[in-house]
Chains A and B, each alone.
Chain A
Amino acid sequence: MSTRRIRGAAVTAALTAAVTACSAPGGGSGDGTSAESVVLGVASEPDTLSPLLGYGKDGNSKIFDGLLARDADLRLKPALASALPKITDGGRTYTYTLRDGVEFSDGEPLTPADVVYTYRTVLDAKTNNTFKSELDAVEEVEASGDDKVVFTLKYPYAPFAARTVLPIVPEHIAGKQDPNTGSFNTEPVGTGPYVLTGWSKGEKLSFKANPRYWGGKPAMKTFTMAVIADDNVRATRLRSGDLDGAVLPPNLAATFKGDDAKRTYEARSYDFRAVTLPTAHRVTGDRAIRRALDAAVDREAMIARILDGAGRPAYGPLPVDDPAFSKDIERTQDLGRAGKILDEAGWKPGKDGIRSRDGQRASFGLLYPSGDKVRQDHALAYASDAKKAGIDVTVESATWEVIEPRMKDTAVLAGFGSTGDPDFGLYTLLHSSLAGDGFNNMARYDNPAVDRALDDGRRSQDPQTRGAAYDKLQRALVQDPGYTFLTHIDHLYVLADRWDGLNTQLEPHEHGFASGPWWNIEDWQPKK
């Protein structure tokens, strides 16, 4: 080949590249105004799409269904089961009847064997499921006849029905693989309203409507979950039209206020930020210090300044929006009361304004996971409020690898929150039998009255008895706060305003991918 010809070829190649680039201007999501498809930006993606390893365990998967599901108010409703379970044997036996004519997206019918396989595999110690302990109450699960499944529990467990939102997998596919390593992890098959069409890890997941869906084919034909970890990039791509909706932190969501084509959804949540007060520490273990800190914090200011108003004060682990919330425990900052409590307990102010008792300075360390801006701001505000009461809090950031071994005697800016039943979040957070067990009960809180309330709430089937137990618990927590609960955080979503039927649920700590206004995307209707 002569030099001239090489040069000619190079120029042609360069021109072709340039022309192709121009003819396919990027950034657009194909047909930007279509109401039948939507592109959503989320911050993280699931590790696996197999319910056997924990995906969708709170009943929020679009690929799978559980025996039961939740409505907008988080009430349980039948899904793969034709009705709510029949509870017998004093709350130890739960019987579900399966809905007729449900098929997996590959055309195979759903049978009780699939349900039994799913639960037995999750309960198998060899399955790497992180949430197995949530089903600890199950003694045995069996098929009965050709449309019934019976769960036998080890002890009466009132909130058990809420656990059966766990997605059901097809035994004829998943049963032929190792649940930990099989291809079902990335190529799921379920009964849900949507079918996975592509998963480019770290980039996006694509879904299309499942024509065999038992609930009727959804109006929204396709949707894409784009995985964009950086908040600013997500906001930019939403603004450029590449995304139709995204989960955003309050300050970025506020920049879309003037955009008439977009709507902001504020989802209230169970997602609380709290400071753990370790029992083992000489200062944080003292009840007077704990009560003084509880009185000294200015929750309203944290919501206004840190969360731009997108949150609610946390007077305990249950949000003010929960039906079980005890209304009259609400309290505001009261430095005078904090001082009085400390005076009475013998904590005397020193020269530098920090109190001490018997040579022990009222000071302790507070760790927060590095990189988490919201927790950092909470930690700094907490330290500044504590100082006003004469308590010295040293704020420090670290990775979880560093924090974990120090949780025993150092305070941590923690965040938790489960939906479904008060028992789910409270038992692991507060019960003394779980003190220091992994990340359960991080403060090693130990209060017999709280333990009793937790046990009553878990065992009784009577809603009134349960309500009274959780009321007693919230009051006991005010008297002896093992944590300083600060805020419940609203989750913000900005979406193009092209559909009807959008709303949000009360959301758990985890959000974005599974919950958000898209929790019921199969019910969305194009705007007329």
Chain B
Amino acid sequence: MARLAGRRALFAVPVLLVVTFGVFAIAAASPFDPVKAYAGTAALDADQQTLDRLRENLGVDRPFAARWWHWLTSALTGDLGHSSVMRQPVAQVIGERLVWSALLCVVAFAAAVLAGTLLGVLAARRPGSLVDRTVTSLAYTLEAAPVFWIALLAIWLFALRWDVLPAGGLTDTGSAQVTPGQVTSHLVLPAAVLAVSQLPWFTLYVRQGVGDALAEDPVRGARARGLSERTVLLGHALRSGLLPVLTLIGSRVPELITGALLVESVFSWPGIAAATVEAATAVDFPLLAALTTLATAAVLAGNLLADLLYGLFDPRVKLSDM
């Protein structure tokens, strides 16, 4: 297990290097002008001397490879640089926002896993039944629905029509304090939308896995021994049916991140998303590179986690072979 983790960590180094280098190269080739992004609307009033002075002060004309090397070497010493668009150190930008993004993702993912398992098992119990057909068609419909569309629909229904949940933000607009109660009520809608967007694949895989397991010999044997339906379903079928799902959890991390990006924008959730979009359009190299590194690391860690879980839970797989 340690060997697997170690090998993956070694493999992650070149991947991260290539990804950050790519980010610098793409950002440098983009049509956006970092000086204009920095000055904002003030740029449309500025004279050439001012624009030139800013260009010089921000050092944006240096070749991107040199900037990448500078960023990399200071990042390795723990200095992530300074975000020009947020006017804050990058570490502070990430520190202030990451916790809210993480909260959103963790809650949504947990809800998706729980609800997905439940629905999947219900559907698998009697293939072709009304429950099965309802769950399956619902899952396919949701699979096809874009997440921002679901988000807008949720706002329209819960915030505007029924007025039971806030439409956006981390806390009530008028309050200056961040209290757990307010965060909870503001979290419900975005987390639910994100969970719903992750739900279909999970439900469908659990349904398939459990359905297959129910047809397998060990389950038939258990039934034949007269074990209760619940023990058969949850003890035998679910346990082996969940195995393929475990490997999927890791591979779904990127989708969780992009989904969170959209959900955060729609619900004005003060997470990493808005910062990512702003960093990209403002060609804010240090912030963009740090965020991309973070996202890449999350994907790599997700894959590692999936493999570890698989090795732990499936007796047929030996971690030492991976």
A181 interface neighbour in B82, B85, B114, Cβ under 8 Å: B82
Indicate if the CB atoms of B114 and A206 lie closer than 8 Å: no
Q: A21-B185, A22-B164 are in contact. Are A437 and B47 (CB under 8 A)?
A: yes
Indicate if the CB atoms of A48 and B87 lie closer than 8 Å: yes
For A208, give the chain B residue with the smallest CB separation. B176
A400 interface neighbour in B36, B159, B268, Cβ under 8 Å: B36
Cα distance, A396 to B68, chains bound together (Å): 37
- Which residues of the partner chain A approach B268 to less than 8 Å between Cβ atoms? 202-203, 228
B270 interface neighbour in A48, A203, A226, A243, Cβ under 8 Å: A203
Indicate if the CB atoms of B33 and A401 lie closer than 8 Å: yes
Confirm or deny: A390 has a beta carbon within 8 angstroms of a beta carbon on chain B.
no
Cα distance, A439 to B39, chains bound together (Å): 13
Indicate if the CB atoms of A27 and B167 lie closer than 8 Å: yes
Cα distance, A237 to B160, chains bound together (Å): 9
Indicate if the CB atoms of A439 and B45 lie closer than 8 Å: yes
- CB-CB contacts below 8 Å: A47-67 with B: 47-48, 50, 53-54
For B42, give the chain A residue with the smallest CB separation. A130
Contact with A along B283-312 (1 / 0, CB 8 A): 000000000000000000000000000000
How close is A345's CB to chain B, nearest CB, in angstroms?
33
How close is A39's CB to chain B, nearest CB, in angstroms?
5
How close is A399's CB to chain B, nearest CB, in angstroms?
8
How close is A462's CB to chain B, nearest CB, in angstroms?
28
Confirm or deny: B50 has a beta carbon within 8 angstroms of a beta carbon on chain A.
yes
- CB-CB contacts below 8 Å: A191-213 with B: 197-198, 200-204, 206, 208
Contact with A along B45-71 (1 / 0, CB 8 A): 111111101100110000000000000
Confirm or deny: B38 has a beta carbon within 8 angstroms of a beta carbon on chain A.
yes
Confirm or deny: B43 has a beta carbon within 8 angstroms of a beta carbon on chain A.
yes
Confirm or deny: A520 has a beta carbon within 8 angstroms of a beta carbon on chain B.
no
Confirm or deny: B41 has a beta carbon within 8 angstroms of a beta carbon on chain A.
yes
Confirm or deny: A28 has a beta carbon within 8 angstroms of a beta carbon on chain B.
yes
Confirm or deny: B143 has a beta carbon within 8 angstroms of a beta carbon on chain A.
no
- Which residues of the partner chain A approach B170 to less than 8 Å between Cβ atoms? 200, 203
Confirm or deny: A510 has a beta carbon within 8 angstroms of a beta carbon on chain B.
yes
Confirm or deny: A356 has a beta carbon within 8 angstroms of a beta carbon on chain B.
no
> Interface extent on B, as a size class?
35 or more
Indicate if the CB atoms of B169 and A24 lie closer than 8 Å: no
Confirm or deny: A440 has a beta carbon within 8 angstroms of a beta carbon on chain B.
yes
Confirm or deny: B141 has a beta carbon within 8 angstroms of a beta carbon on chain A.
no
Indicate if the CB atoms of B50 and A47 lie closer than 8 Å: no
Indicate if the CB atoms of A21 and B164 lie closer than 8 Å: yes
Confirm or deny: A180 has a beta carbon within 8 angstroms of a beta carbon on chain B.
yes
For A230, give the chain B residue with the smallest CB separation. B268
Cα distance, A217 to B175, chains bound together (Å): 21
Q: A20-B185, A203-B268 are in contact. Are A237 and B167 (CB under 8 A)?
A: yes
Give the most central of B36, B50, B51: most A CB within 10 Å.
B50
Indicate if the CB atoms of B46 and A439 lie closer than 8 Å: yes
Give the most central of B43, B170, B174: most A CB within 10 Å.
B174
A24 interface neighbour in B42, B46, B160, B182, Cβ under 8 Å: B182
How close is B48's CB to chain A, nearest CB, in angstroms?
4
Q: A26-B165, A26-B186, A186-B87 are in contact. Are A440 and B175 (CB under 8 A)?
A: no
Confirm or deny: A37 has a beta carbon within 8 angstroms of a beta carbon on chain B.
yes
Cα distance, A257 to B262, chains bound together (Å): 35
Please name 28 pairs of A and B residues whose Cβ atoms are closer than 8 Å in the assembled complex, sorted by A: A3-B234, A20-B184, A21-B165, A21-B184, A23-B181, A24-B185, A25-B164, A25-B165, A25-B185, A37-B174, A39-B174, A47-B87, A48-B87, A126-B57, A132-B53, A133-B50, A180-B57, A183-B88, A198-B176, A203-B268, A206-B176, A240-B163, A240-B167, A400-B43, A428-B45, A437-B47, A439-B45, A440-B47
- Beyond the given pairs A128-B57, A130-B39, 15 more chain A to chain B contacts, judged by CB atoms under 8 angstroms and listed by A's residue number, are A24-B181, A25-B185, A27-B159, A128-B58, A130-B46, A133-B47, A197-B176, A201-B274, A203-B268, A224-B176, A233-B167, A243-B173, A400-B44, A401-B31, A438-B46
Residue numbers of A with Cβ under 8 A of B are: 3, 10, 17, 20-30, 37, 39, 44, 47-48, 50, 53-54, 125-126, 128, 130-133, 180-181, 183, 185-186, 197-198, 200-204, 206, 208, 222, 224, 226, 228, 233, 236-237, 240, 242-243, 399-401, 416, 428, 434, 437-440, 510
Residue numbers of B with Cβ under 8 A of A are: 31-33, 36, 38-51, 53-54, 57-58, 82, 85-89, 114, 159-160, 163-167, 169-170, 172-176, 181-182, 184-186, 188, 234-235, 268, 270, 274
